[in-house]
A = this chain, B = another copy of it.
């Protein structure tokens, strides 16, 4: 839970260049994950660390719901006009299947809250944003590997919320080109965990993604005797779906590059077709892995003897989603060097060190409460 955000915060803290302010309503995150991040950052401090270095490991963690305009405004008010350099907007609901069942909940949380956040940012002269988008914006892509110029055509309400947010953010950048700048990062499939084993994914209930599911099977949290593989008749080498997995630590580092690209020395917007300073980048390895290859890799990492059965295709699954990573490499200097063996090893390391995830039930945020600041 808070999988990506916790790794991004760690990446920021590791540089000791940033003061991190976190906003989360703990819908899908355990407050402990941020405590752990702050801990790893403090453990990594050199013995001669300055006071400023130490200060940079303190996270201002606000319990605050992005849908609640007043709560968010209170957080920005705390730092004052121009008090926040930029925002990395990661919070969203993300379950593709669920989004088709309760689309309004997704549109409210992912689109409504983004509109409101952007308005408050504007009020407080905070006009730099890095946005968490997704490969799902491409729907069924006409060309593999997928370049960023591919038309956006998401299939699920979840995917459409990402397309809408990108559209809205781009329009904001067009309206005030000398004020706003934004990068949208289209994540492919983040996998693995921080090698310390202190932070990682802790899904609410049964994992919906392949790797956490395999990991939960190996640790015994999911008792299925067999993995259900959705379709082996796709036009891919072994007939199962192919995805572009990248290590979540590599993905997280991409956000540092994105922040730099919003900084004064950046040239990423020089090639924008209009004067709007908006750009979208794929974050992927550019390598596809099939379901069966992933099962095999997790077998090696965990020693667990996975059985599987092939059942029918799952509605909405796309045969192949592989990034063309050229643009991010060229313009941001982004690379995702860590390989599949490392992803599986780190995931398993996290899982064995935290067999029940962060443990304990999540804090519940009382509705309409004022945001609360915890300094971690």
Give the copy number: 2
Determine whether A207 belongs to the interface, using a CB cutoff of 8 Å to chain B. Answer: no
- For the residues of A in contact with B, the DSSP-based class is helix
User: What per-residue 1/0 map shows which CB atoms of A102-133 lie under 8 Å from chain B?
Assistant: 11100110011001101100100000000000
With contacts A115-B111, A167-B160 taken as known, whether A172 is within 8 angstroms of B104 at the C-beta atoms is yes
Lowest 4 A-B CB distances belong to which pairs? A103-B171, A157-B171, A112-B112, A107-B115
A318 on the B face (CB < 8 A): no
Q: Does A168 contact B (CB under 8 A)?
A: yes
Cβ of A102 and Cβ of B160 under 8 Å apart?
Answer: no
Give the distance to chain B from A274, nearest Cβ to Cβ, in Å. Answer: 11
Chain A residues with a Cβ closer than 8 Å to the other chain, count: 23
Considering only residues 165-191 of chain A, those with a C-beta below 8 Å from chain B are 167-168, 171-172, 174-175
**17 cross-chain CB contacts under 8 A:** A100-B174, A100-B175, A101-B175, A103-B168, A103-B171, A103-B172, A103-B175, A104-B115, A104-B168, A107-B115, A108-B116, A111-B111, A111-B112, A111-B164, A112-B112, A112-B115, A164-B167
CB neighbours of A104 from chain B (8 A): 115, 118-119, 122, 168, 172
**CB-based contact A115/B119 at 8 Å:** no
Residue of B nearest to A156 (CB): B171
Q: Give the residue name and chain of the B residue nearest to A153 (CB).
A: B151
Question: What is the distance, in angstroms, from A332's C-beta to the closest C-beta of chain B?
Answer: 26
